[in-house]
Amino acid sequence: MEIFIQILINSIVSGLLLMLVAYGFSLIFRTNKVFHIAHGGVYVASVYFLIFIHSYCQNLFILHEILLWGISIILTILFVSLLALLIELLVYRPLYKKQASEIISLITSLGLYIVIVNMIALLFGNETQMINNEVKESYFISDIIITHGQQVQFLFAIICLLVLAVPVNISRIGKKLQAVADNQEIASVIGINVKKMRLIAIIIGSLLAASGALLKAYDVGIDPHMGMSITLSAVVVVILAGKNSFWTLLITAILISTIQNFTEWFLSAQWKEGITYLILIIILLFRTEGIMSYKLRIENR
C-alpha cells in the first residue's frame, strides 16, 4: 500500500513538471499554429545557460550564494525570452506570412531542434550536467519518502504555474490569445494585434518550459538530448487533453506521469515511452479530438 502512495506522490510532482512543459507547448501550438518540437531545444538550452552564467558570475564577483542564484535566474529568464523572440521572428514568422501548413511547421521545427541541441552539444559536450550536487535531508511520513528535490519541485512548480499559466488563463491577454488561437483572421479584424499575441504566446510558453527544465535539472541533472522525450510526453498530454483548459491539461499531465511511473515500477524504465506512445496512437486512431473534448467534424481531424 505504501508503495502505491509513494508512486502517486512521485507522479504528482513529476506531473506538475510535465504540466509546465505541456501548458507551454499547448499555448504555442494553439496560438502560433506551430508544432513546436524545438520546445525541447529551449527546454535544454535554459538549463545549460543557467549553469554557464552561474559559473561565469561566480568567477567574476564574490557574492552571497542566494544573490548569485537570483542574478543567474533573472539572466536566464531574459535569455529564454530572447531565444523565444528570435525563434518567432526568424523562423516562425516567415511561415506565418506564407500561411504554411502545420506539417511544414513540424519539419521546420524539427530542423530548429537539431540546430539547438547540436549547438549545445558543441559548446558544452554530451555529458550529464548537475545543478545541485549536495544530498539534502528527505522528509518522512511513516514509510513514504519525499526527497528535498521533490519538495523544491512541488513548491516552485506551483509558484510558476500561478505566476505564468494562471494569468494567461484569466486575464484580458488570455482572452486575446484564445481569440487568436480560434481564428487569426477574425481576431485581427476585431483589432487584436496577432503578431504581438504570437510573440507573447511563444515567450510565455518558452518560460514555462524553462521553469520545468530548471526544476527537473535541480533533481536529476540534464544532458542535451533530454528535450525530445519530455516534449513528446507533453505532446501526448496536449493531444490527450484535447482542449486548452488549465484543469484538463493538469489532470491529463498527472495521469500520464502516473502511468509512466507505474510502468517504470512494474515493468522497466525502458517501457515507459513505449506505453505512453501506445496511448497516443490509440487516442489518435480512435478519438482524435482527445478524451476530454467534444467531437470534431471530419474535415478538421
Smallest distance from the beta carbon of 269 to other proteins, in angstroms? 10
Nearer to other proteins by Cβ, of 101 and 138: the residue is 101
Query: Would you count residue 237 as binding other proteins (CB under 8 A)?
Result: no
Instruction: For residue 94, state whether it binds other proteins (rule: CB under 8 A).
Output: yes
- Contact mark string toward other proteins, 256..275, x via CB under 8 A: ------------x-xx-xxx
Which residue of 107, 141, 159, 166 would you call a contact of other proteins, by CB under 8 A? 107
Stretch that binds other proteins, among 102-110, 148-156, 157-165, 198-206 (CB under 8 A): 102-110
**Residue 114 interacting with other proteins (CB under 8 A):** yes
Touching other proteins, residues 8-67 (CB under 8 A):
35
Binds other proteins (CB under 8 A): choice among 2, 102, 143, 182: 102
300 binds other proteins (CB under 8 A): no
Out of 80, 112, 207, 230, which residue is the one contacting other proteins (CB under 8 A)? 112
Q: State yes or no: residue 235 binds other proteins (CB under 8 A).
A: yes
What are the distances in angstroms from CA 54 to CA 51, 69, 70, 74, 271? 5, 7, 10, 11, 36
**Nearer of residues 51 and 280 to other proteins, judged by Cβ:** 280
Note the residues at the interface with other proteins (CB under 8 A): 35, 91, 94-95, 101-104, 106-108, 110-115, 118-119, 121-122, 228, 232, 235, 239, 268, 270-271, 273-275, 277-278, 280-281, 284-285, 288, 301
